[in-house]
């Protein structure tokens, strides 16, 4: 059985997809018994860093899991 999430935006002017991604990563840490990012293999970590563009965010996610302070990363990424 696969579990997934479907999201739908009704206000595209207010939608911030990067913030949604950050929140979903935090939620994954909250929902899983063990932090899924802490057990990432080196290749997965490197791919994540290339995709997200921040080694600091990955390290914080691995270290802090659901308690991650997303504000520093959001300030770098989110729309002005």
- Per-residue pLDDT of 16-73, as tens digits, reads 888 888 888 999 999 999 999 999 999 999 999 998 888 988 999 999 999 999 888 7
Q: What is the pLDDT of residue 71?
A: 82
Kindly report each contact of residues 12-19 with a partner whose C-beta sits within 8 Å and lies 24 or more positions away, as own/partner: 16/78, 16/79, 18/74, 18/77, 18/78, 18/79, 19/74, 19/77, 19/78
| Rounded-to-integer distance, Cα 2 and Cα 64, Å | 26
Q: Is 74 exposed, middle or buried (0-12, 13-18, 19+ CB in 10 A)?
A: middle
Kind and range of the H or E run holding 49: helix 42-52
Q: What is the pLDDT of residue 63?
A: 95
């Amino acid at each position: 059985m696969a579990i997934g999430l479907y999201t739908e935006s009704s206000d595209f002017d207010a939608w911030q997809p990067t913030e949604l991604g950050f929140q979903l990563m935090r939620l994954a840490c909250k929902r899983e018994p063990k932090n899924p990012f802490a057990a990432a293999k080196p290749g997965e970590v490197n791919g994540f860093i290339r995709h997200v563009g921040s080694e600091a965010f990955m390290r914080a996610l691995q270290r802090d899991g659901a308690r991650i302070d997303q504000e520093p990363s959001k300030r770098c990424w989110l729309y002005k």
